[in-house]
Amino acid sequence: MSVLDEPLHFDPAALGAGVRPGKVTLVGAGPGDPELLTVKAARALQCASLVLYDQLVDPAVLALLPRDAERIYVGKASGHHSMAQDAIIELMLGLALAGRPLLRLKGGDPYIFGRGGEEAQALAAAGVPFEVIPGISAAQGAAAMAGMPLTHRDHACSLVLTTGHLRQDAHGDAGDRIVDLDWDLLARPRQTVVVYMGVGTLPIICGKLIEHGLPADTPAATIERATRPDQRTVVGTVATLPSLALLHRVKPPALIMIGGVVSLREQLAPASSGVRLSANA
């Protein structure tokens, strides 16, 4: 296994003429459970010789790689980045332009909050051949294992996937951080909202939704480490979920699910899918 502490800088012009770029395969590793890999993804893993992998890739998935495969960790955990995204792209391009085929392994699906689109753009612009192998998303895995269908005729006729990640406020002081979302859209009735990367901003998210008209008693939940043996689900309402998440020390990786489908958990959740904590827990 290789861990890079410093970004690498590649000059494609210095790599020499006549070198054919290696193919890059962007692979979705799924939400965690290795049995949820697609057949195509599993085959790609078994043939890989060089792998760049993220923090959310489960060790059981990495165990499917050949023993002699070179592994480079480029993950991003909450509050700590092994490598910046620009440096990851630079590394990937440098290796591919040097003629090395590689597998870029991402948790969930590369094109759903995995920044796979940015990486694919960079590969296309550099003339590097690439393939995308989709994976089961974290939202799909969490919904199935927590007993909360993403859509349901009686509860949700649409699905919204969004991110609760903080960004710099361009109009405020350097320390100001905001969640910049379409709150009117997210507060509409009869839909399911799934928030990625929102644990740290959960009070803001729930407060804004109520402020924009979503009833405070709308069912809401956090699903922590979805599809893994230690998956944990905390269930409440939009009004109570922030305090419940704090009480039960919910930590990333975790998704937030909001909408009437959350109320189906008691009936549909598999017995092994974690603990149910009520709004009054």
Catalytic residue (one of 33, 54, 58, 109): 54
Is residue 217 part of the annotated active site? The answer reads no
CA distance linking residue 272 with residue 269, whole number of Å? 8
CA distance linking residue 105 with residue 95, whole number of Å? 15
- Beta-ladder partners of 130: 24
Catalytic residue (one of 40, 76, 208, 251): 76
Is residue 54 part of the annotated active site? The answer reads yes
Shortest CA distance to 233 belongs to which of 214, 212, 256?
256
183 by DSSP, 3-state: which?
helix
* E strand or H helix at 50: strand 50-53
CA distance linking residue 174 with residue 151, whole number of Å? 40
Q: Determine contact, residues 267/147, Cβ cutoff 8 Å.
A: yes
Burial class (CB in 10 A: 0-12, 13-18, 19+), 86: exposed
Residues identified as active-site: 54, 76
